[in-house]
Structure 1
Amino acid sequence: MIIEDRAQSYEEALRRSGIRITRQRAALLRILADTDDHPDATALHARATAAGAGVSLATVYRTLAELEAQGLIHKVEFVGEPARYEPADQRHHDHMIDVETGQVVEFFNERIEKLQAEIAAEMGYEILRHRLELYVRKLP
């Protein structure tokens, strides 16, 4: 989904919930729609502030909570890190978290997906959804 379409869908979702789209909130939604990393609320607040949108941190949290409730963003919580957010319209992927830098790397591996499905089936289950997080550090 392109950035403008994503930002528009965020605005429409908030309007349906009765949330006013102020200039500040619209700027925040555009920043959120344009992100290609996994920002936390504080990082989004800092980006909005740097862009000149005087949005409060409380507004950032309320906006994120509503977008998550409507299924437009996913809240991802990595061990020892504040909650981060990513668009829900992305195809399935897993995460590697660099424990030294905090960088989050998205990846998809068909062999891992197949193996997980095989293991679940061998045990009499089917996978409905899953998350795979690898906590890593760069090799010397």
Structure 2
Amino acid sequence: MDNITLKNAGLKGTLPRIKVLNVLEAHRHEHLSADDIYHYLQNEGEEASLATIYRILTQFEAAEIVLRHSFETGHAVYELNEGEHHDHILCIRCGRVDEFVDDTIEKRQAVIAEKAGYMMTDHQLNIFGVCPECQESDQKGKRQSDPSAND
């Protein structure tokens, strides 16, 4: 994605847009907030206001360059729209977000919508839980706080 991507979406390839797009591409497997993007740009010595970043993300969302999600935190995060549908599983402890695709779930959701008389146009599935690393950390904490576990 580059200046051509912006032009194809009907947007001029301004320097701030290109900078934000570059951050999104560099972190393409992450879900970034406007604050995240702002801090990445600041760390690279780039000038951009948070208001500008929000405005650009709104434009990118309207142009379907990015997808916006509001997970359990209530604040928006963005990811590049690479055209492939996927769902999310999120850790309620550390905020880790993993993506997955499951054909059985996809088919079942279509059947449910059809049975209810709906023509499904889109859907999102977010599963919340505790990731393996946080589970392991919990177990280590229990072993350390329970002296009888070391006998």
Partner of 2:82: 89
1:99-118 alignment runs, 5 A limit: 99-118=92-111
Cα distance, 1:39 vs. partner?
0.4
Structure-2 residue corresponding to 1:3: none
Aligned counterpart, 1:12: 7
Unaligned runs of 5+ in 2: 136-151
Gaps of 5+ in 1: 1-5
Q: TM-score, normalised by structure 1?
A: 0.82
Give the aligned length.
132
Q: RMSD across aligned C-alpha pairs, in angstroms?
A: 2.0
Alignment of 1:116-135 (within 5 A): 116-135=109-128
1:66 to 46, 56, 59: 59
Q: 1:136 aligns with which of 129, 132, 135?
A: 129
Moved over 3 A (4+): none
| 2:18 counterpart (26, 47, 65) | 26
How far residue 122 of structure 1 moved from its aligned partner, in angstroms, is: 2.4
Q: Take 1:53 and 1:25, find their aligned partners in 2: how far apart are those partners?
A: 12
Q: Once the two structures are superposed, what CA deviation does each residue of 1:78-110 show, in whole Å capped at 9, x if it has no partner? A: 122410001122300001111101111111001
TM-fit CA distance, 1:25 = 4.1
**1:26 Cα offset (Å):** 2.6
TM-score under structure 2 normalisation? 0.77
